[in-house]
Amino acid sequence: MKHFALLLSIFSLLTVACSDKKSTEEPVAKVIDTIPMLVTQVQQCSRLYTTEYRIHKIITHDDKMKLSGSFMKQDFSVTLPLGDRRIAIPMDATLKAYIDLSGFSDKNIQRQGKELLITLPDPKIVLTSTKINHKEVKEYVALTRHNFTDAELTSYEAQGRKQVIASIPQMGIIEQAQESAARQLVPIFTAMGYKESDITVSFRKKFTLKDLGQVIEVNKKDWKWKQEHLKI
């Protein structure tokens, strides 16, 4: 009987010990893959406008009336007096850079330990608007010449748009787009627990002058000029 009571006491102690061990064990942390959540958060940005440039430009044009012909088998071209026409047209233009994030996927994210490498889709640059300040247009037309026509003014405006597009490489707009995109997207990643110092945001490559034809969007009126001058 004493032996039975002793065995029962030992069994009770073991049971309590096992129960205490189970109660003190910490639950195993479940590893959560944050990449799908990051992708969803970035995709919600859709078209992310990163940079805006406002440009003021003076479009100038001048032409002279000339008399051309041939005399005694000699060609000649003479500028006629009082035949000048000159015009200066102030134009305001707006350029915007954006990144289309609707197709952003896990292929754009690489995780190396604590570090997060984000590769952005290619940027796009678009000339969103041009506006002529007609009240500030300055023109001189000699008495022997006719005034500038609406068709001519429209043509000069088109030339101004092309000049703005041609000046894009000197603006550094692509670099600004990358920096701005990083500033807007990094808070999304830090909110998911990543340190800002561990996050790198970049484009897939460094864009050169040869690549501009791929990133610049123009309207139909400027498309032919873009093909000819940006080597598309």
Measured in degrees and rounded to the nearest 5, phi and psi for residue 114 equal: -85, -15
- Confirm if 104 and 121 have CB atoms less than 8 A apart: yes
pTM score of the predicted model:
0.64
Predicted local confidence at residue 67, as pLDDT: 58
Structure tokens given for 71: 């005399």
Predicted local confidence at residue 209, as pLDDT: 67
| Range 187-195, long-range pairs (CB < 8 A, 24+ positions) | 188/38, 188/41, 188/42, 189/38, 189/116, 189/118, 192/34, 192/37, 192/38, 192/41, 193/34, 194/114, 194/116, 195/114
| Polymer length of the chain | 232
| Distance of alpha carbon 68 from alpha carbon 65, whole angstroms | 10
Structure tokens given for 21: 């061990």
Predicted local confidence at residue 20, as pLDDT: 46
Predicted local confidence at residue 226, as pLDDT: 47
Give the strand pairing for 115-120 and 199-203.
Answer: parallel
- pLDDT values of the chain reduced to their tens digit, one per residue, 232 residues: 544 444 444 444 334 443 444 444 444 434 356 788 888 888 888 888 888 999 999 999 888 765 566 656 677 565 666 678 899 999 999 999 999 898 889 999 998 888 999 998 888 898 888 898 888 999 988 887 888 899 998 898 888 988 888 888 788 888 888 888 888 889 988 988 889 999 999 888 877 767 777 788 765 554 454 444 444 4
Helix axes 220-229 and 150-166, enclosed angle (nearest 10): 50
Structure tokens given for 190: 């830090």
Predicted local confidence at residue 31, as pLDDT: 39
Predicted local confidence at residue 79, as pLDDT: 62
Beta bridge partners of 82: none
